[in-house]
Amino acid sequence: MRHISIGKTWLLLALLWATIPCAARAQAPELRWWKGNTHTHTLNADGDSSPGEVAHWYRDHGYDFLVLSDHNYRTSVEELQREFDREVELDEIRAREDKRKPQVSKFLLIPGEEVTDKFDKAQIHVNALASLRVVGAQGGKSKTEVLQRNIDAIIAAGGVPSVNHPNFAWSLTADDLAALRSLKHFEIFNGHPDVHCQGGGGWPSLEDLWDELLARGVRLYGVAVDDAHYFQKWGPRESNPGRGWIFVRAPALTGEAVRRAYEAGDFYSSTGVVLEDVRRDGRTLRVRIAREHDDDAKFTTFFIGPRGKVLAVGKDLEASFTLEPGTAYVRARVVSSRGENAWTQPIFQN
Ligand SMILES: [Zn+2]
Ligand SMILES: [Zn+2]
């Protein structure tokens, strides 16, 4: 009898042991970066490829998630998502049989829409991320009213609004954007060649516009996107994919986790620079740059404050800056010697 009770004790201890790491994991889920593009077109509007072809391009180029955002059109992604999930399952089965590591990673599709409206000559496009139904253009009697009505309609449809390409057709100024309620995101980089991200002729660049708004106390997160339309024809004058994206920090690749991190501003924007870590310690913003390839690229980190003032410059792979009382915010832009960028979100005085 004695050996049975010892066996039971060991079984109990083993069971207890097995539950400890799980419980620890549940308390502190490991966060990691997930790469995604939140602005893409397909044949459901003025793109040149089907939602399936577009999604495969992103999956096959190392992205973890994608938002399909056609003009006033919401593509349902459920069936496509099931196809991607089945590919992952089949690969896992084959990998077990062949005793190799799985090669196909999970890919997440998030529904969306580019709510496409205008006022006079102004093009007013507001992206909806994770909206539950079609929103469509809401109209209005001024630029700000059109923007606000579309933002409100996106939120009512369960989505997260983001104002797209303010300089497209030289449409939106700081005054137009400063008056808006419930807006937390707008594009600071868009890969479409005709949306004038750099500004010019007296118009601010999207980054200058961001600093003007932040200096006025308008707390907006900056998003980099592709706005890709063409996957068949390639060239610098075509709106091709792979030019601007975000990395969100989340415990899992699920629609809910990605949305939560995006809404909370736990993401950075990039056109090529990869960050290992972005951290806020009190009033200090810390950035750690990843050396992606074994190459000789060099990096410069600009810590930028109100109205674009450069507060400090970092020359190493790690850089940090502490806000002094009286400076409203700081954000970091990392530039590589190849001309690629990463933009962190700002941290504020309080
Ligand atoms: Zn647009
Ligand atoms: Zn677009």
Average pLDDT of the residues of the chain? 93
Ligand that comes closest to the CA of residue 68: 2
Which range is most confident: 6-15, 229-238, 286-295? 229-238
pLDDT digits (tens, 9 = 90+) for 134-144: 999 999 999 99
Terminal-to-terminal C-alpha distance of the chain: 66
Task: With a cut of 50, say whether residue 1 has pLDDT above it.
Answer: no
Q: So what's the pLDDT on residue 231?
A: 98
Distance between Cα 114 and ligand 1 center (Å): 7
Distance between Cα 44 and ligand 1 center (Å): 14
Q: What are phi and psi of 349, to 5 degrees?
A: -60, -40
Q: Which two tokens stand for residue 37?
A: 């593009």
Q: Which two tokens stand for residue 236?
A: 């610098």
Instruction: Report percent pLDDT > 70 for the chain.
Output: 91
Range 139-168 average pLDDT: 98
Q: What is the pTM of this model?
A: 0.91
Q: What are phi and psi of 106, to 5 degrees?
A: -60, 140
Distance between Cα 149 and ligand 2 center (Å): 19
Per-chain residues with Cβ under 5 A from ion ligand 1: 125, 164
Ligand that comes closest to the CA of residue 69: 2
How far, in Å, CA of 227 to CA of 241, rounded? 8
Range 288-314 average pLDDT: 93
